[in-house]
Chain A
Amino acid sequence: MIGIIDTGSKNIGSILNCLKHLKIENRIIKNINEVDKKISHIILPGVGNFQNVVQTLFSNNFKKKKLIEIINKKKTLAICVGMQILFNKSEESNISGLNYFTGEVKSLKNLKCKDTIPHIGFNSIKISKKINLNFLKKRDFYFVHSFALNKIDLVKTNKEFIIGKTSHGNVDFISLILTTNLIATQFHPEKSGNSGIELFKYFYGKKKSYI
């Protein structure tokens, strides 16, 4: 069963619709105590503002340490701001993130993006390693954001991972991160039509490591 963590983002309806379509059992988790043994996977959604998402998590008892424990124990899909809060901080606010990965979220403007900001629409992903990810092949995903990550500090992050990058206006930013038990996306799989459905299938169907 998938537990969808309530990050105060109003639009988890689209994620619920996708899971329903795929007939995957799920429930919304409003408090950390509700994460039990039945929950094998968690989704960390996020729309809106970095600070709002972090604050909602903390006020719902999802303390940093506990949340990271859960992320390490279960399989996790972090979406958009849900991915950004896994990092140290964001230019969008002063509050610190979960420090799961080391890096700072920056505005596309400060990253010197020369194209339209926000980055809205479908775009493709280039992956750093040759790995057979069928759900990525010749597919586009939906982006809607003004902030992004341009790098992960490899040494400090101390995890094995693969990243996917997307370019927009001369900026290459991180759009996908895969670790053994986590998938993080800057794009919205729940809004990416069939491409997104394939990603949900990979997330829930893959028995062992994601990389």
Chain B
Amino acid sequence: MVKKRVIFKLIFKDDAFHLSRNFSLQRAGDTNWLFDKMNFKKISDHIDELIILNASKNNSINPLPNFFKKSIEELMRKTFIPLTIGGGLTNLGQIDECFELGADKIILTSAVKTCPELIDKCSSKYGAQAVSVGIDFKKIDLINKNKKSCYFSYINNGKDKFMSLNEHIKFIRKFKFGELMMTSIDMDGTGFGFDKDVLKIFDNKIRFPILLSGGAGKPLHFEELIGNKKISALVTGNLYNFLGSGLQTLRKKIVDKGVNLRVI
């Protein structure tokens, strides 16, 4: 059986990595900071995949920003783990660049609205396994009789409301893609835990891998969810909460619960 995955997500903007909270970004540091201050080599030895998202403004140009590329090159020289690149990708030229940088997968989020045809184009060139789709979502309390809350998807770094989450998931199923990363804007960077209620939206017949992101703050958040059959991987970008031997402890706790992770 394929092992469950613990994935780390890094956000890059302009000239540095940033920490994100509810999708607002705070500058953290460059690759040197990541390796010297955060001991990223140790982090990368204890994760199963790395996702790097570019949040720079005007990044819909071809080629990708030089500083973004340079930082990824520096990172990948020191770590030999699977890489997914995303953030504002709008054309095949940029996607070619991502794979040249060593990506195994790319992730398309806003493209679902701006250039949906890119999903299938990319799948036929690189195979569907290399194309992930991302959905950023918020839970919104509706003022109606039932006081039921509803999920909506957002695009453009969480700025623009797009569709109800149900419709969005129905819509993307028209395209060929590998896996789906769900990111909760409400929980992002809070450390309060994943939005596990959102999983109810998927029935048990879903056959593509689902990644859940946003909110991880402590090992318990992983422990209580990673065994869930609907989940293939949990994603965190929370550098400070898993410093030192944090990820080692986290992995041990997950394995102790009887969930298989890769042997390190």
Give A residues with C-beta under 8 Å from B: 9-11, 13-14, 17-18, 20-21, 47-49, 52, 115-124, 138-140, 142-146, 167-168, 188, 190-194, 196-197
Contacts and interface: CB of A to CB of B under 8 A. Distances in A.
B80 A120 contact: no
5 contacts: A11-B101, A47-B127, A48-B126, A115-B1, A140-B263
Contacts of A144: 82, 104-105, 129-130, 178
Interface string B71-87: 00100110011110000
A190 B45 CA distance: 14
Interface string B220-256: 0000000000001100000000000000000000000
B179 interface: yes
Contacts of B124: 49
A145 B2 CA distance: 12
Given A17-B76, A116-B207, A140-B262, A193 B45 contact: yes
A191 B80 contact: yes
Contacts of B179: 116, 118, 120
Contacts of A18: 80
Given A17-B76, A140-B262, A191-B82, A117 B208 contact: yes
A123 B103 contact: no
A122 B260 CA distance: 10
A188 B156 CA distance: 33
Contacts of B178: 118, 120, 144, 146
B148 interface: no
A11 B2 CA distance: 23
A17 B105 contact: no
Contacts of B263: 124, 138-140
A120 B96 CA distance: 21
A47 B127 CA distance: 8
Contacts of A49: 124-127
B2 A143 contact: yes
B76 A121 contact: no
Given A123-B2, A146-B128, A197-B80, 4 more contacts: A13-B73, A13-B101, A121-B232, A123-B1
B80 A11 contact: no
A134 to B, nearest CB: 14
Contacts of B209: 116, 118, 120-121
A115 B82 CA distance: 21
| Contact-residue size bin, chain B (C-beta under 8 Å from the other chain) | 35 or more
A122 B80 contact: no
A118 B105 CA distance: 12
B264 interface: yes
A174 to B, nearest CB: 16
Nearest to A167: B1
A14 B3 contact: no
B100 interface: yes
Contacts of A120: 2, 129, 178-179, 209, 232
A14 B82 CA distance: 9
A20 B124 CA distance: 31
A14 B83 CA distance: 10
Contacts of B1: 115, 123, 167-168
A196 B96 CA distance: 25
Nearest to B210: A116
Interface string B2-30: 11110000000000000000000000000
A108 to B, nearest CB: 10
B103 A11 contact: yes
Contacts of B264: 193-194
A196 B130 CA distance: 20
Contacts of A52: 125
Contact of A121 (B5, B77, B96, B101): B5
Nearest to B7: A121
Contacts of A192: 80
Contacts of B102: 11, 13-14, 17
B152 interface: no
Contacts of A11: 99-104
B80 A196 contact: yes
A52 B73 CA distance: 26
Interface string B96-119: 100111111100000000000000
B48 interface: yes
